[in-house]
Amino acid sequence: MSFTAAKWRGHFPLLAAHRDLHYLDNAATGQLCEAALDAVTSHELLHRANVLRGTYRLAEQADAAYENARRQVAAYLNAASADEVVFTAGTTASINLVAHAFGEGLNAGDEVVLSLAEHHSNFVPWQMLRERRGVLLRILPLTADGRIDLSRLAETLTPRCRLVAVTHASNVTGAVTDLAAIVAVARAVGARVLVDGAQAVQHGPVDVAALGADFYAFSGHKAYGPTGVGVLWGRGEALAALPPFLGGGGMIGRVTVEETTYAPPPRRFEAGTPPIAQAVGLGAALDWLRVQPWADMHAHTARLAQRLIDGIAVLPGLTFLGPRDLKQRLPIVSFNLEGIHPHDACQVLDGHGVAVRGGHHCAQPLMDFFGVQGAVRASLAPYNDEADIDALLAGLKDAMRKLG
């Protein structure tokens, strides 16, 4: 399958409708691919019904579509079984599920290890767990360029460590975490590992079996799928050991006045009516992504990232956040311009048709580490091209003239 950015962009209806848009906010939300849009539209028009226990034809079709989406997600993740795939509302919901369900088995003095590079969604739930259960949070420090400092692993992961929760890749610096090193030390002390994969899944299929983690969380809207749906993958035995998080219909075995028994995973964690159409759309998006020419696409986005890094490096008063090289990093580039608030820079850029994000990016501990309040962030996808980068650079120069 041959790849060009223009050809790939043709699979995204919004970009086809807004040809003058330079969309560089993919770390926040990827655009919806036509495969997902078609799947959602077809499902809602032809197969809309609730899932579980319906005995009429339409409900059985909805059941089949929903479970097929689970198999499609499992294939994208190379999961051992579709039953390891739990549909949630997104990464945040997935992490909160683990924080509550796994956290119920923790006691005061048990330790959870995070890093300074985490999104708030992988920070706040564990702080809330600390308040509920008295667990201790230990923090992996960072190197000067914002990578997790692996030299501190052994001293941070003590025998009291029960879980390590880390990002697969930073949503600010793009730095990819060396998960193999973290998993190895976690296993040595008997701890489980949760990976926040929100920034990784859109860059190609993820092999959870090879990663060695116990839990993996991501959101559909970052992977060119619908909003309102996400996934918690859990190793079979890890999921089976967890109590339910939410109670209600669909997650039970038998309910009596005296007690309730619970369904096995994944149903145990899918109380109430799930995001059926959204799951169908996500499954279609991942099925389409799974067969894309990722080597060519990675080379393309790396060239664009280098063009951007080289272009902003010559701007006066620029503060760069994260690694400047492209080794083990995603095409996410964050920076500040001296004396210019990120929000103001983003507004000027919008006048050039450039969509980027400015602020703390839900990573305030990381911003504190870098000594800044926020940053401008450009995040690239395979549908971006040289014109997008050049428009951003021209807009930044204009912002410096107007605001500097």
What are the domain boundaries of the chain? Answer: 5-29+293-403, 37-290
Same fold, 5-29+293-403 and 37-290: no
Two tokens, residue 382: 């395979």
Cα–Cα distance, 145 to 103 (Å, whole number): 32
- pTM score, whole prediction: 0.97
Q: What is the Cα 50 distance to its own chain's centre? A: 27
DSSP assigned state of 210: H
Two tokens, residue 376: 């401008």
DSSP assigned state of 331: S
Q: What is the pLDDT of residue 155?
A: 95
C-beta separation of 164 from 186 below 8 A? yes
Give the right CATH number for 5-29+293-403 from 3.40.50.970, 2.60.15.10, 3.90.1150.10, 3.40.30.10.
Answer: 3.90.1150.10
Segments of the chain scoring below 70 in pLDDT:
1
DSSP string of 275-323? -HHHHHHHHHHHHHHHTS-HHHHHHHHHHHHHHHHHHHHTSTTEEEES-
Query: Residues with catalytic annotation?
Result: 362
3-state secondary structure of 46: helix
Q: What is the pLDDT of residue 196?
A: 98
Report which secondary-structure segment, H or E, holds 390.
Answer: helix 386-403
Q: What is the Cα 180 distance to its own chain's centre? A: 19
Give the mean pLDDT of the chain.
Answer: 97
Q: What is the CA radius of gyration of the chain?
A: 22
Q: Long-range CB contacts (< 8 A, 24+ apart) of 338-344?
A: 338/404, 339/403, 339/404, 340/399, 340/400, 340/403, 340/404, 341/374, 342/374, 342/375, 342/376, 343/374, 344/399, 344/403
Cα–Cα distance, 27 to 322 (Å, whole number): 15
Two tokens, residue 391: 């428009």
Cα–Cα distance, 148 to 369 (Å, whole number): 12
3-state secondary structure of 180: helix
Cα–Cα distance, 37 to 226 (Å, whole number): 8
**Tokens 């930044």 -> residue:** 396
Q: What is the pLDDT of residue 2?
A: 86
State the number of CA atoms in the 13 A half-sphere of 159 facing the CB.
0
Q: What is the pLDDT of residue 339?
A: 95
Residues in the chain: 404
Domain 37-290 classified CATH 3.30.230.10?
no
